[in-house]
Structure 1
Amino acid sequence: MASNRSATQVPPVPGQRDIEVFGYGGPRTDEGPWEEWNPTEESVRPVRGRHRVAKQRGGLARSSTVLGVGVIAAVGAGGMASANTGKPPVSISMPDLPSVGSLISDDDEQEEVPEASTPLSTLGADSADTPQGASDAGEALRARIMAQAEQQQDQIASKAAAEAEAAAAKAAAEAAAEAEKEAEAKAAAAKKKAEEEARKKAEAERLAALAKQYALPTSSYTLTSTFGQAGPYWSSGYHTGLDFAAPTGTLIKAVHSGTITAAGWDGSYGYKTVLTLDDGTEIWYAHQSSISVSVGQKVTTGDVIGRVGATGNVTGAHLHLEVHSGSGGSGIDPLAWLRSKGLNP
């Protein structure tokens, strides 16, 4: 192996100014004087254990820095994932990497590199950015999200409950109003029914009392012609009274108390008797075979005033009964009038 050539130029001895620049403000007493040094093969050969490159304690190599940044990103992503998925993040712990000088050293007696007591992700981060901090932040975020979701659910449930309660109250009010309306309708119907029953009862009592005062004009009869019936047998074109067909000689009675105002022959009516009641109503009895009363005579209910016959314009023996409103006034349906007095011909 050839030896190294001598240096062609002796390095200059630093002056006072250089010492001030590179000596950190003052001359160094532990260095110098400077001498010329010509490196040889022996002098440049590394000595085991003495010329190792010192480990850089002040920071990490570029590769370590890149790895640390990746680990920090991974830890941050783990924290975000924990906030999203609910799973706690995995703490990543990396040992301090050796410096580049230690990696290229050929010393057999390598110093053991102690593992870092803290994860690499703590570089440039505070306690909130550590895995535990990221986990706590994720859990806090998750708790806030769950609390907001629960609050929204509670609000929705409260709103639904309020709406249901309002709908139930409205339905109850409508049902109560409908029930009250039905109750009022039932009460009105019951009242009307009671009033109708009371009216009917009063009318029945009145008719019963009148029935004691009024009587049918004859007995053993058959109604043949009614009031207003049309036909060629009557000169007016319709029947003006009520016919009680009965055998000749059947007794004719006064329907109510009154005075005999007419008694005798009256053309087509044959023998006719007129009974005038106290209220002025006239009762005409026609086609009699005989008359038993005289004008001006007072009669009471049920007194005999004559007998059934076939005198005048007739086709058979019967009593022709007419009712007038007074002094020969307009005719009244005898059947309706008798029924109004509590009688049922």
Structure 2
Amino acid sequence: MPDPHKIPPRTSATTTGLASPADGLDARLVVDRDRFRLDVTLTAAPGDVVALLGPNGAGKTTALRALAGLTPLTGGHLRLDGVDLERVPPESRPVGVVFQDYLLFPHLTALDNVAFGPRCRGVGKAEARAQATEWLERMGLAEHASAKPRRLSGGQAQRVALARALATRPRLLLLDEPLAALDARTRLEVRAQLRRHLAAFEAVAVLVTHDPLDAMVLADRLVVVEHGRIVQEGSPSDIARHPRTEYIAQLVGLNLYRGHADGHTVRLDTGPAIATTEDLTGPAFVAFPPGAVTLFRDRPTGSSARNLWRCEVAGLETHGDQIRAELTGELPLAADLTTVAAAELDLHPGAEVWAAVKATQTHAYPA
């Protein structure tokens, strides 16, 4: 069986140029529901994996249900490989779905759960079971073919659900928080396996997740949705380096501010100016990681940092193997420091500190 930690290179129609303009996903999803309106445009070529990210209530699940045909559109369009899916009943669409809680049939074995998809497409029982056997082997689950869902671990159940979706040979694969129900150790293993299977998937995959690591590892392109609208999209590296909303900045772990740039200084819309190394003019964002912040209990003398602000500790929490301090004052920000440093500084809510950031550790870019 292939090593799940060796991720094969991805090839898609976007990079090979083999697909016609009609291939892949072309959708504008407009859904009106009470006081909420979803209006997002999604395009993807065969072989692409697109991740939808956003806070709770942003419209991610509504978009996924619209793609699956479970929620009707009130406007826009939905085309897959040049076919208008709005004219196709949901059960007849070439779409596979992996739900967050798997939704395996409890009375069927793993083999028959996977064979269910091909059977619904008109494949004979023997052939469907043969295909299911092959998919279970690909997923490393051949020895669990006769097991019912209650006897499977969370990771095994997730892989059975993925096999069931892929067994129908969908042209659009939808994954709704596929790793959310797994514990941390299982999540790491299954994420690597899922990445390998998605790398080999020749059609379009759309992943909905709230976990930035899942999105960064599994997707070629991120689409960030807030309040039913796309606020930013791009490659994982571009999103991580150039966040454009507070939600995205928190997602990728950056302090983010908006202001007006004049040379190597960005004067914030609300707050002080921040010195940067970039030379810009006009509306700009400036960002820096919490780890770039150095804290002092007394105003430092002789510090090389060009950015220095007087702040107050609003809260402290464990963040990985460090302590994250949330600060208010001249510039609200987050700072990461070791447990030893936090103890030496005697940090506690209400403590006054000075926060310093070197200009070389900031990153400014046009707004």
State the TM bucket, normalised to the shorter chain. Answer: under 0.3
Greater share of strand residues, 1 or 2? 2
Specify the structure having the higher radius of gyration (Cα).
1
**Bigger RCO of structures 1 and 2 (CA < 8 A, at least 6 apart):** 2
Q: Which has the higher helix share?
A: 1
Q: TM-score, normalised by structure 1?
A: 0.17
